[in-house]
Amino acid sequence: MNVSLTSPLDMHLHVRQDSMLRVVAPLSAEHFAGAVIMPNLLPPVDHLERLLWYTEEVRSAVGTATFEPYMTLFFRDYTEQELEAAKPHLLGIKLYPAGATTNSEAGVQHISAMDHVFRIMQDLDIPLLVHGETHGFVMDREREFCEVYKHLATTYPRLRITMEHITTQDSVQLLDRFENLFATVTAHHLVITLDDVVGGLMNPHLFCKPIAKRPEDRDALLQAALAAHPKIMLGSDSAPHPVSSKECPGCAAGVFTAPILLPLLAELFAQHGALDRLQDFVSSNAQRIYRVTPPHKVVTLQDVPMTIPPMYDTVVPMWAGRTLGWSVTAVH
């Protein structure tokens, strides 16, 4: 059995900077035609000059690979002039509630105070990408943030809003209520629950934010992805950290999936008889939602086993050492 995917896209990707960038960016560029690059560096990518610099850093790291980095700015109090100048160079602006995840301390303290920025974005048709969590009890943070999504979707009806890396039934249900809400879903949230992270000995390489939730939440995400819900797209949230930052007290949040995404998804969709809908999840929906035309790249996968390496440089991937039933056999 095999499947060919045309111009697969990862609509939520962390490639970091410096030596880590040079390790992980080529792994995404090998299988994907493009990716949405997150801006939470230190310091964040929050002005045009830094955006242009980071774009060139990513392009340099992937070398000659057929790969388009779709860039984002870190949300702050922008002027209309700043956003007009940046618009030709970016896909959207990423909003982080302050302190919600890795390198988000400079994020938004009070979303209600940013009305003028949302209105500018709506007028300029710049999409808003949101890490949707409150600071409440950890299992409830995304569900609680649904009220914020409802407010944003109704107050700014022409603003395209992406709920990033959704993990709950509640978020899936919002997609059918508001025309301007869309969502990315990670591969790992389609297959794991919180029990996989802390049900036995803690597995730090499955610890991420938002945290994995209950089986019924995972199943709602999986059902939507397998059904090729037109408002859902792959956004891996692949987030590399050196092993020293994962296997330690104060474990960093992030699951590194970039090298195994397409084999993992092909195996998952094949198990459910949905290989014919994988193209929509990994590319077609994203192209339509974001109105992008990625470079042409065809990736062929077959039900040929691959063993996940124990490490990529200093980064341990999800399910290191496990064998997947599918692998990439050709890229052209």
327-331 and 298-302 beta bridge pairing: antiparallel
How far apart are alpha carbons 214 and 200 in whole angstroms? 15
User: Which two three-digit tokens encode residue 172?
Assistant: 């899936």
DSSP string, 80-106: HHHHHHHGGG-SEEEE-BTTSSTT-TT
User: Which two three-digit tokens encode residue 18?
Assistant: 């410096």
Q: Residue 56 — φ and ψ, nearest 5°?
A: -70, -35
189-211: b (≥16 Cβ within 10 Å) or e: bbbbbbeebeeeeebbbbbbbbb
Q: How many other C-beta atoms can be found within 10 angstroms of the C-beta atom of residue 79?
A: 11
* 319, 310 Cβ separation under 8 angstroms: no
Would you say the C-alpha torsion 280, 285, 286, 287 has a positive or negative sign?
positive
How far apart are alpha carbons 157 and 290 in whole angstroms? 16
Residue of 301, 283, 305 lying closest to 292 (CA atoms)? 283
Q: Is 140 a catalytic residue?
A: no
How far apart are alpha carbons 92 and 128 in whole angstroms? 6
* Residue type, position 282, single letter: V
> Which is the catalytic residue, given 237, 276, 280, 313?
237
Residue of 151, 148, 92, 77 lying closest to 125 (CA atoms)? 92
Active site residues: 237
